[in-house]
Amino acid sequence: MKNNKLAFVVITTVAIAIVGAGLSLFFSRFLNLTPLADDTISMPQKTVLPPALSPREATPAINYAPPSLQDAPESIREAVLLGSNIIMETGKYASPYSGNKLTCANCHFKGGITQGGKNGGLSLVGVGAVYPKYRKRQNYAVDLVARTNDCFTRSMNGLPLPAESKEMTALVTYYQWISKGLPVYATIPWLGVQPFKSTHTPDKTKGGKLFETKCSVCHGKDGDGNSSTPPLWGDNSFNDGAGMYKAENLAPFAHLNMPLGNPDLSVEDALDVTAHIISQPRPHYSRKP
């Protein structure tokens, strides 16, 4: 009898030990008390991100050669070529909308098919990839139609092109063709101009003297230009709503590009000449229908 009781106790103890071990192993998967080598569950760790990069650092350098206009597919070639003609000879190919003697190419050298910088004017290569784009002037994103009409009503002192017109369609097609292959919404480093970081106070009197010695030979002493150079003030120049009426745009443009072909204006000279130019009379911008 005693042997039977002893055997019962031993069997019961072993059974409890086996069940306890099984339960312990089962719950350890959830409580992480005894993790298994091949089935470990760990708490998520906080992700540490690297320091933020500026857009120029974050975007790889872009090397790009715009495609030939003649290589445009036949279905758009006529539009691409008309767009190029409008840029180069605005008054001839978009005469109903042009209000002065400027052409788009006066700022966008060689039809805008450059990569900007020194002697390159304002590039148009890439605008087809980065618009619609936020602009401070509208405090909203604008498309290429609105951006182009800003130039026609301000820089050209003319009228907006209807969005569905042959001329506007040609210009937008041209922008997109010369931007072919560039990543959409990439940072295009050669677009626009960077304002000066200068503490120089512009002196328009000194700028007037510099204009006489360095600029008047091409633009005329009265700033009215000639058959091959644009007027910088007066009735045939850009109005006071144009981007070039702002010193932050005109001064770096002059520094990088003037005198044409051999730019040598210092930052201070460019600021002084700009002060002289924008102090001269010109048309007043009024919103056109």
* pLDDT surpasses 80 at 235: yes
CA distance 14 to 95: 103
The pLDDT assigned to 46 comes to 35
The alpha carbons of the chain give a radius of gyration, in whole angstroms, of: 34
Residue 240: predicted pLDDT: 98
The residues with which 133 forms a beta bridge, in sequence order, are 142
Report the percent of the chain where pLDDT is more than 90: 75
Rounded to whole angstroms, how far apart are CA atoms 33 and 24?
9
The pLDDT of residue 11 is: 53
Check residue 12 and give its pLDDT.
52
Answer whether 205's CB lies under 8 Å from 73's CB: no
Domains, the chain, in order of start with CATH, read 52-192 (1.10.760.10), 193-289 (1.10.760.10)
Query: For residues 233 and 283, what is the distance between their CA atoms, to the nearest angstrom?
Result: 8
Reference 249, options 194, 202, 199; nearest CA is 194
Hey, what are 277's tokens?
């130019």
Calculate mean pLDDT across residues 131-142. Answer: 95
pLDDT value at residue 64? 82
Question: Residue 289: pLDDT band by 50, 70, 90 thresholds?
Answer: low
pTM for the full predicted model: 0.78
- Cα separation of 145 and 269, whole Å? 35
Identify whether the C-beta of residue 198 lies closer than 8 Å to the C-beta of residue 267.
yes
At 229, list the tokens. 């150079």
Token pair, residue 173, equals 């097609």
- Mean pLDDT score across all residues of the chain: 85
Give residue 115's pLDDT. 86
Q: In sequence order, what DSSP letters do the residues of 241-269 get, joined into one string? A: TSGGGSHHHHHHHHHHH-STTS----HHH
Q: Give the torsion through C-alpha atoms of 70, 74, 76, 80, to 10 deg.
A: 20
Determine the pLDDT at residue 57.
40
Predicted local distance difference test score (pLDDT) of residue 211: 98
Q: What is the pLDDT of residues 249-280, one digit of tens each?
A: 999 999 999 999 999 999 999 999 999 999 99
Identify the pLDDT of residue 44.
34
Residue with the bigger pLDDT between 204 and 34: it is 204
What share of residues in the chain are helix, strand, coil (percent, to 5)? 45, 0, 50
At residue 23, the pLDDT reads 42
Provide mean pLDDT across the span 146-153: 98
Better pLDDT: 31 or 129 = 129
pLDDT at 60: 52
Confidence class for position 287, pLDDT limits 50, 70, 90: confident
Local confidence band at 117 (pLDDT 50, 70, 90 cut-offs): confident
Three-class DSSP category at 96: helix
β partners of residue 141: 134
From 105, 120, 121, select the one nearest 155 (Cα to Cα): 105
According to the model, what pLDDT value does residue 61 have? Answer: 60
Residue with the bigger pLDDT between 82 and 38: it is 82
